Amino acid sequence: MSGLLTDPSTGSGQAKTVLVTGGTRGIGRAITQALRRDGATVVVHARSDADVTGDLSVPGGAEHVWAKAVAIHGRIDVLINNAGAWIASPVDDAAAWDDGWTANLALNLLAPATLCRLAIEHFQRHGGGVIVNLASRSSHRGDDAEHLAYGAAKGGLLALTKGIARGFARDRILAYAVAPGWVATDLAGPEVAAQAATLPMGQVTPPEDVAEVVAFLASGRSPHTTGATIDITGADYVR
């Protein structure tokens, strides 16, 4: 077996083991397919019908998912934090505001942060590893008025990624973020398709574009890119 997601340090070209959260639908499914094409052994997480099942939004959920994933192959080489949700936090409803902030922080920041912590400890024992966090265009510019908490959580994920890259590079731990804009998936609502006419390329980003970038970063073939955020917006948002 050979490819981007095999370990060149082993004579047999042993496949890297990659944990993908939220890996059965949308962007996660495209990522899983790209990783497998490139030679990886993929452990797929989802709430149901996956290699590892578990709810990342509840206390202890991330620890449960990580332990089950490691138990399958004994080692994880790459963590892809893809699972997340665009959860509203309307300003004009105090209860919904509080619930939205709690839910966004739990799923979109705390769960991936906990998985990062567990991955760092694991990678330190195994000579290094790679983390790729799925952030958002909202990480940079904020989100709309109904989703302020989502933008804040994704912004925190971006800061976390940079800190990991800076703090653990000497342990051969690489950390990257990917920040998509509008992405055309089967999970997207009609408002996403309606954006196509407003975008510079005239189309919403296909999930495969995101998957190709994630697969390359997961390979570790550009280690000095660690700490970087790759924007995937079809020039809709540029920095």
Residues with a known catalytic role? 150
Contact 150, 87 (CB under 8 A): yes
| 3-state SS assignment for residue 175 | strand
Q: Which two tokens stand for residue 53?
A: 């099942």
Give the CA distances from residue 192 to residues 8, 71, 157, in Å, rounded to whole numbers and listed in that order: 40, 38, 23
Tell me whether residue 208 is exposed, middle or buried, using C-beta atoms within 10 angstroms of its C-beta: 0 to 12, 13 to 18, 19 or more.
middle
Nearest to 149 by CA among 84, 90, 92: 90
**Which of 177, 237, 170 lies closest to 201 in space, CA to CA?**
237
Identify which of 217, 114, 122, 226 has the alpha carbon closest to the alpha carbon of residue 170: 226
